[in-house]
Amino acid sequence: MGNDVSLLANEDEDEANFIVPVLPKLPISFQDVDSLHASNANGPIARIPVEILAKIFHILCKDLSGERRWTYILEVCTYWRAVALATARLWTRISNDESHTRLKRSLLLSQQCPLHVVITPDGNITLGPFIKALLPYAHRIETVSAALFLSAALSKLITMLPNVRVVSIESKSTQLVFPFVHFTEAAVVQLRDTDVAFNSKNLKMLTTLSIVNPSGLPTLLNILSVIREAPALESLVLTGPMRGHAEGSVNVLPRTQPVRMCNLRSGILCTQAAFTSAFFTVFVVPASARIGIQVQAPKDRDEAGRNPFIRAFPDKSLLKNVGCLLHADRLLVDIKCEPGITCRDTKSGGAVGVYVVANDYPTAWKNVVNDILQAVELSELGQHITTLGLRGDKERALDLTSLFRALPNVHTLKIDAGNIDNVLTALSSIELFSEQENWLLCPNLRELELRDVDMDDEVITKISECFQIRSGLCGYDLGPALLYDPARVEVARPEFMGSVMNLLLKATR
């Protein structure tokens, strides 16, 4: 025991020996701290205007939303903390993955700013207490993003959303049914694996609708009931397999005129071709809209040989419903991993693209061009197209003669990563109409543009020979302009363009 006491005494003595020399220096240390505070008050951080610093914090808040790491700025310095606490829009994200204390703090500090509510299925606060805490602030809720398991949860959510403008709902188990009747003020609705109930309410504020349902799209009748009441709709996304038979859905629709989507700017339909065909039977898309269609090939054996490009469109009499399809003057043909065609109208700015999922393509690759050709002939595009673009596999040999024959008025041809031999072979071919008359494909061709095409002496010679043939058979000089991608030209060959131009000049004299 005595040894323990002596040990403690020795320790106290050691501490005293350390502290005593330091005591005279403490006032100087305090002065140093005061001077540091004074310098910080006039330092670079303190000189940043409050408005700019608040904007920086807001950007940081958006980048790290969901993790709340941005709240560490409260611990940097007194100035940053004061600015952050006084900036209401930093606290507008309200989530059930926070604690009750943080939830109350955010609701208080957000003042009167619109609230953005996020609901996760595994949040710290269960949905019932969370909604109860938000009810006094329901009039301020502007956006809601919720992942829900039960329809009862969606019903609870509806009670606090009178003025919501943006809604994002994801069903985490069985498909919930989204009732538009309770969201008449919403401008943006994004649904995932969520069905849509039949709607009879005016949705005049709705401008964006996205439905991504891997387990099946809503019925066309219910989709029609929504879009018919949304005259301001500008953007539409429908992704997922159709339920049942689309043709049967069309038969049960009211016998009325197709719904005109006058303000639509962009639309994406990613589903079976039968659904898109039925869609354009009941809806009219303006020529200025940009429409992207990705269709899956039919899996039924009796339908396996049908052309997916043609099946994506309605009957010929209703092709006028498909945006700018009948007025397009530019055609892009993709012969790559996902074959497709894109029609563009330079006057209206609209476009219609149809692509087929390659893995499900029902015919051999050699029939891709024929399928595209049939779609061109069905839509009677051939006479209007003046610019043709081709994108394809450099190694794939395809006969483009029939496609060029269907486009007699093309004056600009753009080749992107394609097999130039396919193009030159078709352009050099001569068709015999009578014993006295020979004719070339694309007789009005004036401009040839090459991008990502390997250029060497052999290719240059083939281009020259092609236009020599064309110049000799046409009643006028073609004078084509050859454009190219500079990235494909070897720097070590500065004579390249000179060789090309000399050969072309000889070919067109």
Q: Both 439 and 402 in a single domain?
A: yes
Is 277 a member of any domain? yes
Find tokens 């303190």 and name the residue.
46
Q: Both 319 and 403 in a single domain?
A: no
Is 57 a member of any domain? yes
Distance, in Å, from the CA atom of 180 to the CA atom of 199, rounded to the nearest integer, reads: 6
Q: Which two tokens stand for residue 125?
A: 């606060």
- Compute the average pLDDT of residues 307-333: 87
Q: Which of 60, 87, 114 is the last residue in one of the domains?
A: 87
Distance, in Å, from the CA atom of 248 to the CA atom of 302, rounded to the nearest integer, reads: 18
Q: For 257-303, write each residue's pLDDT tens digit.
A: 889 999 999 999 999 888 998 999 999 999 999 999 998 765 554 45
Q: Both 356 and 459 in a single domain?
A: no
Is 445 a member of any domain? yes
Is 307 a member of any domain? yes
Task: Give the pairing of strands 330-335 and 340-344.
Answer: antiparallel
Phi/psi for 470 (5° steps) reads -65, -40
Q: Give the closest residue to 144 by CA, choosing from 102, 107, 187.
A: 187
Q: Give the closest residue to 110 by CA, choosing from 86, 145, 74.
A: 86
Distance, in Å, from the CA atom of 507 to the CA atom of 486, rounded to the nearest integer, reads: 23
Q: Both 391 and 373 in a single domain?
A: no
Q: Both 449 and 358 in a single domain?
A: no
Is 264 a member of any domain? yes
Q: Both 251 and 312 in a single domain?
A: yes
Find tokens 């050099």 and name the residue.
428
Find tokens 């610019």 and name the residue.
387
Find tokens 């269960």 and name the residue.
126
Q: Both 402 and 496 in a single domain?
A: yes
Per the structure, how many domains does the chain have?
3
pLDDT in the model for residue 253: 62
Please list, in sequence order, all residues whose beta carbon lies within 8 angstroms of the beta carbon of residue 33, skipping any fewer than 6 positions away: none
Q: Both 274 and 392 in a single domain?
A: no
Contact in structure between 454 and 421 (CB atoms under 8 Å): no
Q: Which of 59, 87, 115 is the last residue in one of the domains?
A: 87
pLDDT in the model for residue 15: 45
* Residue 494 one-letter amino acid: P
Is 398 a member of any domain? yes
Task: Give the pairing of strands 340-344 and 351-356.
Answer: antiparallel
Q: Both 473 and 362 in a single domain?
A: no
Confidence grade of residue 224 (pLDDT, cut at 50, 70, 90): very high
List of E strands, 213-361: 235-239, 259-260, 266-272, 283-284, 290-296, 330-335, 340-344, 351-356
Confidence grade of residue 400 (pLDDT, cut at 50, 70, 90): confident
What's the whole-model pTM score?
Answer: 0.78
pLDDT in the model for residue 72: 73
Distance, in Å, from the CA atom of 245 to the CA atom of 393, rounded to the nearest integer, reads: 36
Handedness of CA 59, 64, 68, 69 (dihedral sign): negative
Confidence grade of residue 377 (pLDDT, cut at 50, 70, 90): confident
Print the domain residue range for 401: 386-509
Q: Both 409 and 358 in a single domain?
A: no
Q: For 167-191, write each residue's pLDDT tens digit.
A: 998 887 767 888 888 888 899 999 9
Q: Which two tokens stand for residue 88?
A: 């209401």
Distance, in Å, from the CA atom of 314 to the CA atom of 191, rounded to the nearest integer, reads: 27
DSSP states along 137-176: GGGGEEEEEEEES-HHHHHHHHTT-SS--EEEEEESSSPE
Distance, in Å, from the CA atom of 340 to the CA atom of 327, rounded to the nearest integer, reads: 18
Contact in structure between 441 and 473 (CB atoms under 8 Å): no
Find tokens 């269609």 and name the residue.
293
pLDDT in the model for residue 427: 82
pLDDT in the model for residue 227: 95
Confidence grade of residue 33 (pLDDT, cut at 50, 70, 90): low
Confidence grade of residue 68 (pLDDT, cut at 50, 70, 90): low
Q: Burial, 224: exposed, middle or buried (Cβ in 10 Å; 0-12, 13-18, 19+)?
A: buried
Confidence grade of residue 39 (pLDDT, cut at 50, 70, 90): low
Is 282 a member of any domain? yes
Q: Does 196 have pLDDT greater than 60?
A: yes
pLDDT in the model for residue 244: 65
Distance, in Å, from the CA atom of 114 to the CA atom of 111, rounded to the nearest integer, reads: 9
Find tokens 């093309």 and name the residue.
410
Distance, in Å, from the CA atom of 100 to the CA atom of 163, rounded to the nearest integer, reads: 24
Q: Both 77 and 54 in a single domain?
A: yes
Q: Which two tokens stand for residue 128?
A: 């019932």
Which contiguous run of DSSP H or E holds residue 503? helix 496-507
How far CA 99 is from CA of 47, 129, 146, 243, 466, in Å, comes to 35, 12, 18, 42, 74
Q: Both 426 and 486 in a single domain?
A: yes
Is 227 a member of any domain? no
